[in-house]
Structure 1
Amino acid sequence: MTSPTIHRVTTLDLAVRPVAWPFAEERRAEIAAHFAEKQRERPRIWNGKVLLGRDAVFTDGHLAATYFETDFASFLAWRDWGFPDPDVFNGFGMGALRTNDGAFVMGEMAHHTANAGRIYFPSGTPDLDDIRDGALDIPGSVVREIEEETGLVPADYMAEADWHCVVSGHSIAMMRILDLDMPGEAARARIEANLARQAEPELSAIHLVRGMDDLKPTMPRFVTAFMAQQFVSR
């Protein structure tokens, strides 16, 4: 398995177009059976519409790609079966929350979610609500996911201009550092208070990452690669 590659870019050009996905069409019955099994394990998962990418090109601080609509069941099968269509990638935005005492804030996914137990920054597979004027609005997606998962809003943080695009296998995590004007423990307490008010929060725990010793096996490779770069640059 190749190591993740990190591209630092300033612009994202992610057009959404109608694209037929042969994998989803040709294996529809198998996909439906797989999703039914997953629903038995986690009844709360839903088969909504999501956006996947293809034809990613990095040039001179710029990422261009094409996105297309599919259903979550097809995405889940593609992921769980080892990415049988290698031309497709899961490209999503992540808000890398950083506190004023240098801690990065991550959430642990709750047991009822499709990624139960995994620890990473607030994020989500893009869906139709993230389309603006025919393009995927990753900055808007990050703002939405941050608020849904943590209760934090844009007035709570300052976003850096650049994106750290971590290419790892068939994923591209487009990460933007968001600086919070509060220490790590205060940020954790605020987010935990917000989670306590929710009937079924997406997160089960909040983790503060201050150095390499805080990284855990349940963090995806794109997260640990990004964190390693951040700690080396300090």
Structure 2
Amino acid sequence: MSEGRPYGFEVVRLAHIEARLVAYDWAWVRDNAERIAENWRRRLALQPGLFDGPVLLACGCAIADGTCQVDFFETRYAAFIAYRDGGSPDGHVANAFAAVVPWSADGAVLLGQMGGHTANAGQIYFPCGTPDRDDVRGTVVDLAGSAVRELREETGLALPGDVADAMAGEWALLRGDGQLAFLYPARFPESAEALAARMERHRLAEREPELERVVTVRGQDAIDAGRMPPFVRAYLASAFDADAAAADVTP
């Protein structure tokens, strides 16, 4: 089910995701080798800790009857960053990733502002990362496992019980701007204050935390256009619109 295009993103509700690893000949990489190398030199000068490892990008996405089938292929991080920095000019390839969206018991969303040493320094995100080889099981790309791992690594939070059972509900796909963001809303039993405190304890215990601070959002008025990327703003706008609509029809 589609919900319009907040901030230029289509919001699609999904019951199931099937992701697989395929072979793909990405011509853009061959045609832009110099641009990729120069962009990587520029990035390293600003953030020397960046690592040019293998990552997975999407080269196909089809949706039917609440199921999304998405194809991934492997490339280098430097190629991905140059592609993204250049505005994702190849319409056949998308930056596809999954994230758990932590909701508190009292109706807030918890996010994190990325640390200065990361590729997305200063931006406010859900806990997420570009999939890589660690997320591949045979030919299956485990997007749910990727999302849960990033949640645990960045925030210390974990979903209860078996991952497959815990993530059996509805996903939201944010599609636009060269991205496919697969977001899973997870309701935690704590208040926003308690959940943020738990995330902050984890952040302070890390030697080099990915997050600079924890951010709590309780409504559309807290959407930060300067620091939140468009897919985050689109999800929050859609989610809090839905909450407001539900409140309007509550007797």
**1:98 and 2:103 aligned:** yes
Q: What is the Cα-based RMSD across aligned positions, in Å?
A: 1.6
Q: Which residue does the alignment assign to 1:189?
A: 197
Which piece of structure 1 moves more, 18-27 or 178-187?
A: 18-27
Q: 1:91 Cα shift?
A: 0.8
1:44-59 aligned at under 5 Å gives the runs 44-59=49-64
Letter in 2 for 1:200: E
Q: In structure 1, how many angstroms separate the alpha carbons of the residues matched to 2:143 and 2:62?
A: 16
Q: Which residue does the alignment assign to 1:200?
A: 208
Q: In structure 2, how many angstroms separate the alpha carbons of the residues matched to 1:221 and 1:46?
A: 25
Q: 1:10 Cα shift?
A: 1.1
In 2 relative to 1, CA 63–33 (structure 1 residues): closer, same or farther, beyond 3 Å?
Answer: same
Q: Which residue does the alignment assign to 2:248?
A: none
Q: Which residue does the alignment assign to 2:79?
A: 74
Relative to the length of structure 1, the TM-score reads: 0.95
Q: In structure 1, how many angstroms separate the alpha carbons of the residues matched to 2:70 and 2:148?
A: 21
Percent identity, please. Answer: 34
Q: Which residue does the alignment assign to 2:155?
A: 150
Unaligned runs of 5+ in 1: none
Q: Which residue does the alignment assign to 2:28?
A: 23
Q: In structure 1, how many angstroms separate the alpha carbons of the residues matched to 2:132 and 2:231?
A: 21
Alpha carbons 1:159, 1:179 under 8 Å: kept: no
Q: Which residue does the alignment assign to 2:10?
A: 5
Paired residues, number: 234
Alpha carbons 2:171, 2:183 under 8 Å: kept: yes
Unaligned runs of 5+ in 2: 244-251
Alignment partner of 2:186 out of 178, 185, 204: 178
Letter in 2 for 1:223: V
| Superposed CA offset, 1:156-192 (max 9, x none) | 9954611100112110110001111100011111111
Q: In structure 2, how many angstroms separate the alpha carbons of the residues matched to 1:117 and 1:140?
A: 26
Letter in 1 for 2:197: A
Q: In structure 2, how many angstroms separate the alpha carbons of the residues matched to 1:215 and 1:37?
A: 30
